[in-house]
Amino acid sequence: MEFQINTKAKKLVYALIGLGLILTIIGVATGMGDHHFKTRLLTNGLINGFFFFALGLGALFFLALQYATETGWYASVKRVIEAVAGFLPYGMGFFGIVLLAITLMDGAHIYLWMDSEIVKHDEIIQGKSAYLNPAFFWIRTIVYFATYFIFLRGFKRRSLLEDQEGGTTLHFTNYKKGALFLVFFAVFSSTSAWDWLMSIDVHWFSTLFGWYTFAGMWCSTMVVLVITTLYLKKLGHLEKVNESHIHDLGKWTFATSFLWSYLWFSQFMLIWYANIGEEVTYYQMRIENFKVLYFSMFVINFAFPMLLLMSRDAKRHAGILTTVGLIILAGHWLDVYIMVSAGSLGANAKLGFLEVGMALLLAGSFIFIILNNLTKAPLTPVNHPFLDESIHHEI
Amino acid sequence: MSDKVIYVMYDDDGALKDGAKKLVSKGVKINEVFSPFPIHGIDPIIGVKNTRLGIMAFVYGLTGTTLATIGMRYFMVVDWPMNIGGKPNFSYLENMLAFIPITFEFTVLCAAHGMAITYLLRNKTLPGIPAQNPDPRTTDDKFVMEIRMSENHSVSEEELDGLLKDTGYIELDKKEVK
């Protein structure tokens, strides 16, 4: 209510969406003749659909984590987290449409296990078909979406109700619901990563994959939260947020970058060391077709935050946080890009107008929806039981 | 040179912090604070400089990294090339990945131990060294502020007593030291 999208932000968002749309159209027009085009288009849909959906989901997870741990410091940035989590229904919509299109096209060479012709001649996929089949895939996807949506709606409703009623009853409900969400999320974060991303490389599997995807998602979400908070702060909102809150969000970005790097390395080193034919193909495909991108992506997501965000002052500096954050965000988008397209397109993957255009289009819509969400509720919760602690947060 | 030291005891860290703020704003220099746990935000009030322990941690960590690299290269490549799981280690660089976990562990080991030992040495709290806190109760539930008269020439003792009275201490102790 207090926050209004100013004309400058509106213009920027429209410019981003417009530019994305133009580039996408150019990409579609120039790529149309290619016989990989359908796969390429849907691959792009899957990359961006998942990436932006995951940003919203990461925020929902982070919110639930704060509820379950009864954290105090975050109270004054809570509405920012809620606004980012509020993207989830839109993200689910776009992502769901992409998944539906892929299913209707028998996997579109992305999910090979959806194509009954291929499954007929492939013993390895046959062995997995009890789990990987379109019907069960959709049951799972709908269960994930429904669970996330129900929890999000509950958190949002209670958060706004708390502003009016106060007291601790709602707080304890949130505490229980947050813990319950984490139980669901612990399972779903892994299985949904298998379903949506790992099954693209259908012959390959890794038990680490779920955490790896989750860590990337968490890190990207923290970047979005930091940048949104800094943006609001710059406009003079969120007067209760001090340097220590920014520092804490910066620490989360720093820490989750390491979590991601740690899991990336663990997965890579174990497979490299064991050198088993079935397992190394995953990395061989990536090194053959994406060598520079793949390793520079790792350097961006690991070395950048490590070197630039290590010092205390850097984590309190808006300029450094925003710059490094945007680079990490691009790095994690690249991570998802390689995760999806190395399996679906392989050597035919390109990083052209279509890829960049669609990413910009989705990014523009994402920013617009978040800004719009921010206008819908007071930026500081009034009756949060830990608000006082948050205001006096000092580290 | 003889000196007069004033020990002011509080039973609440908030009271000590507010008191310290008031005293410092009147130009009193507080030499040291003793407390059973770290008091958040007391450092800038009494003017404690930022610790350089972080820099030392980096140096110790770097030492660990270097030692681990030199050691493993010698053990596994130079002295007796080891063939583990079909990966012959003729080159350290090409098998870097296998050495990273140990490099990491040794870096952390050196950094942690180096920091702990430096901390104990710097604070003179190695085992066997007599305790420096003025009152054993500061390791339990009391908080003590130490003010040295030799560092406070701008305020007289009477003025200081008056100032201290307003801060709500529970005990005041004055000692002559040589």
Q: Work out the mean pLDDT of chain B and round it to a whole number.
A: 88
Partner-chain residue, chosen from A265, A273, A395, that has the shortest CB–CB distance to B85: A273
Q: Work out the mean pLDDT of chain A and round it to a whole number.
A: 93
**What percentage of chain A exceeds 70 in pLDDT?**
100
Strands B32-34, B143-148: pairing is antiparallel
pLDDT band at residue B159 using 50, 70 and 90 as cut-offs: confident
Q: For residue B37, what is the DSSP state? A: S
Interchain contact A394–B (C-beta under 8 A): yes
**pLDDT for the residue A1:** 56
Helix, strand, coil % over all residues of chain B, rounded to 5: 50, 15, 35
Least confident of A38-42, A75-79, A100-104, B131-135: B131-135
For the segment A323-345, the average pLDDT, to the nearest whole number, is 94
Q: Does residue A391 lie in a domain region?
A: no
Quick one: B113 and B63 in the same domain? yes
How many Cβ pairs within 8 Å bridge chains A and B?
A: 18
Q: Does residue A311 lie in a domain region?
A: yes
For the segment A3-31, the average pLDDT, to the nearest whole number, is 92
Q: For residue B48, what is the DSSP state? A: P
Q: For residue B122, what is the DSSP state? A: H
For the segment A378-394, the average pLDDT, to the nearest whole number, is 89
Q: Does residue B137 lie in a domain region?
A: no
**pLDDT tens figures, B41-80:** 888 888 888 889 989 999 999 999 999 999 999 998 899 8
- Compute the distance between CA of residue B118 and CA of residue B122 in angstroms, rounded to an integer: 6
Quick one: B106 and B118 in the same domain? yes
pLDDT band at residue B1 using 50, 70 and 90 as cut-offs: low
Q: Does residue A386 lie in a domain region?
A: no
Q: Does residue A331 lie in a domain region?
A: yes
- Compute the distance between CA of residue A47 and CA of residue A357 in angstroms, rounded to an integer: 12
Please name the residue of chain B whose CA is at the shortest distance from the CA of residue A311: B54
- Tell me which residue range forms the domain holding A100: 7-152+164-376
Interchain contact A275–B (C-beta under 8 A): yes
User: Which of B40, B45, B58, B107 would best serve as a mutation to test chain A binding (most A beta carbons within 10 A)?
Assistant: B40
Quick one: B89 and B105 in the same domain? yes
Interchain contact B86–A (C-beta under 8 A): yes
- Write the CATH number for B24: 3.30.70
Quick one: B79 and B117 in the same domain? yes
**pLDDT for the residue B116:** 95
Quick one: B14 and B38 in the same domain? yes
Quick one: B44 and B61 in the same domain? no
- Compute the distance between CA of residue A18 and CA of residue A357 in angstroms, rounded to an integer: 9
- Tell me which residue range forms the domain holding B60: 53-122
- How many domains would you assign to chain A? 1
Asked whether residue B85 carries a pLDDT value surpassing 80, the answer given is no
**pLDDT for the residue A183:** 97
pLDDT band at residue B13 using 50, 70 and 90 as cut-offs: confident
Asked whether residue B93 carries a pLDDT value surpassing 90, the answer given is no
Q: Does residue A85 lie in a domain region?
A: yes
**pLDDT for the residue B28:** 87
Q: What would the two tokens of residue B37 be?
A: 């746990």
- Compute the distance between CA of residue A317 and CA of residue A328 in angstroms, rounded to an integer: 16
- How many domains would you assign to chain B? 2
Chain A residue numbers touching B101 (CB-CB < 8 A): 269
**pLDDT tens figures, A132-158:** 999 999 999 999 999 999 999 999 999
Phi, psi (degrees; rounded to nearest 5) at A166: 75, -160
Please name the residue of chain B whose CA is at the shortest distance from the CA of residue A393: B40
pLDDT band at residue A54 using 50, 70 and 90 as cut-offs: very high
What is the pTM for the complete model shown?
Answer: 0.88
Q: What ipTM goes with this model? A: 0.74
**pLDDT for the residue A386:** 92
Q: Does residue A99 lie in a domain region?
A: yes
Other CB atoms within 10 Å distance of the CB of residue A195: 20
Q: Does residue B10 lie in a domain region?
A: yes
Q: Does residue B14 lie in a domain region?
A: yes
Please name the residue of chain B whose CA is at the shortest distance from the CA of residue A268: B97
